[in-house]
């Protein structure tokens, strides 16, 4: 049997990570994976998380199953944090998932159960896992425009494409800090999207993975809350990996809003059934940590303060990179970077230039140009800027060969 298995494609991000690990140059820089790192290059455990873990260790008396919906306190805390409105939470249901990836897949499975063959629209470019998750659930994918030729958010192009989305279609939108581009539409474009969804009958499916790391927690959640207020049905996949630093604890939540509690009667059971066939029940530790933080006013304040510190460091990194790239004579490329926000930046480099940067400078980003700006130690920003400038130089004869 196994001899018949065709060679599957390698995961491009982990392939690059393996190449980085084998690179002997001590100055090399890994900006491939989307993890926050502090000024020392370490992915820290947040102080609020450490304290919550100590409290849980004192209280813990059992490792019993939590059930198919996971940690109920976590689910309530997620609804309150994301929606921030009692009238909205009254018409919403939530289940804990295995990170944001699990939430995306469970909600895609819900769409398939509800309407097999649904078309799901995703941005072009999109988060690398969006298409495989949606197609893995048996749904059809269509792209909509995201950037204009200058690398700015293409609100007009996006709206023009999504006018072709019809009743029963689903539109996957990243709620903030778009991955991989770092380019977000204006709030006015979000309002146009809400009007278009209402007029054409398609359902927004919001992926929230980086809220709190762009313009601040409430500002980053504003578009999602607006969609929830204005539209009868919204799907939301939430990740706690980045804003709680719980990468390896795989903590997420799937939220569904309907026009009424009655409309949601079967939704939680459908999500539970989908989870049962995939992983049965989600791990509890990360969810218990998040619930402990969000239910305690003091810990919640500590967490939000830490989140702001992380956000400011990311913004400072980007500002410094823009200044250094501009100072090296690449003002146009610098301004393209200045318009972005969040953990990721899309470098204005071709795939060939990204390869040159990797070979010449040992700086690793994706072939498409994405780098993790949140993963650069501040003192290495000049090195990164120099690597970008080197990559913009024409290839030598040996490199062409």
* Distance (Å, whole) CA 248 – CA 343: 18
Which residues of the chain fall below pLDDT 50?
401
pLDDT of residue 262: 81
Strand order across the beta sheet in which 92-98 lies = 92-98, 251-257, 234-239, 203-208, 170-174, 119-124, 140-145
> Which strand (E) or helix (H) includes residue 20?
helix 12-22
* Distance (Å, whole) CA 326 – CA 3: 54
pLDDT of residue 265: 85
Buried b (16+ CB within 10 A) or exposed e, 274-304: bbeeeeebbbbbbbbbbbbbbebeebbebbb
What are the residue ranges spanned by the domains of the chain?
9-45+310-400, 65-295
pLDDT of residue 396: 67
- Architecture per CATH, domain 65-295, reads as 3-Layer(aba) Sandwich (3.40)
Q: Do domains 9-45+310-400 and 65-295 have the same CATH topology?
A: no
Q: What is the pTM of this model?
A: 0.95
pLDDT of residue 398: 58
Ramachandran quadrant class, 182 (left: phi over 0; alpha: psi -120 to 50; beta: rest): left
Task: Domain 9-45+310-400: state its class.
Answer: alpha beta
pLDDT of residue 118: 96
Residue 271 near residue 281 (C-beta atoms within 8 A):
no
pLDDT of residue 397: 53
Tell how strand 363-364 and strand 234-239 pair up.
Answer: unpaired
pLDDT of residue 267: 94
At 168-220, the pLDDT tens digits run 999 999 999 999 999 999 999 999 999 999 999 999 999 999 999 999 999 99
Give the three-class secondary structure for 59: helix
């Amino acid at each position: 049997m196994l001899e018949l298995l065709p060679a599957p494609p390698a995961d491009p991000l982990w392939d690059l990570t393996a190449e980085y690990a084998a690179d002997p140059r001590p100055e090399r820089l890994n900006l491939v994976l989307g993890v926050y790192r502090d000024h020392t290059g370490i992915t820290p455990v947040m102080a609020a998380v450490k304290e919550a873990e100590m409290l849980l260790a004192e209280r813990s008396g059992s490792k019993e199953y939590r059930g198919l919906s996971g940690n109920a306190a976590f689910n309530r805390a997620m609804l309150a944090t994301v929606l921030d409105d009692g009238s909205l939470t009254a018409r919403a249901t939530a289940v804990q998932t295995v990170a944001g990836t699990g939430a995306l897949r469970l909600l895609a499975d819900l769409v398939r159960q509800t309407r097999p063959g649904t078309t799901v629209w995703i941005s072009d470019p999109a988060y690398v896992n969006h298409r495989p998750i949606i197609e893995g659930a048996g749904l059809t994918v269509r792209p909509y425009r995201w950037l204009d030729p200058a690398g700015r958010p293409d609100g007009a192009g996006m709206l023009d494409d999504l006018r072709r989305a019809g009743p029963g279609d689903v539109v996957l939108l990243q709620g903030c800090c778009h991955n991989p581009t770092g380019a977000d539409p204006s709030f006015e474009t979000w309002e146009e999207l809400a009007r278009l969804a209402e007029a054409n009958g398609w359902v927004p499916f919001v992926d929230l993975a980086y809220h709190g790391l762009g313009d601040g927690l409430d500002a980053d959640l504003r578009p999602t809350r607006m969609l929830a207020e204005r539209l009868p049905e919204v799907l939301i996949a939430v990740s706690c990996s980045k804003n709680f630093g719980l990468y390896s604890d795989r903590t997420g939540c799937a939220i569904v809003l309907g026009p009424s509690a009655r409309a949601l009667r079967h939704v939680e059971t459908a999500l539970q059934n989908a989870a049962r066939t995939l992983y049965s029940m989600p791990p509890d530790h990360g969810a218990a940590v998040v619930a402990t933080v969000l239910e305690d006013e003091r810990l919640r304040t500590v967490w939000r303060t830490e989140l702001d510190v992380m956000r400011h460091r990311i913004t400072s990194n980007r500002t410094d990179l823009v200044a250094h790239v501009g100072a090296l004579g690449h003002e146009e490329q610098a301004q393209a970077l200045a318009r972005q926000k969040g953990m990721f930046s899309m470098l204005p480099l071709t795939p060939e230039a990204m390869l040159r940067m990797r070979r010449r400078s040992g700086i690793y980003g994706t072939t498409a140009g994405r780098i993790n700006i949140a993963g650069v130690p501040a003192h290495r920003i000049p090195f990164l800027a120099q690597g970008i400038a080197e990559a913009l130089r024409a290839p030598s004869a040996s490199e062409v060969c």
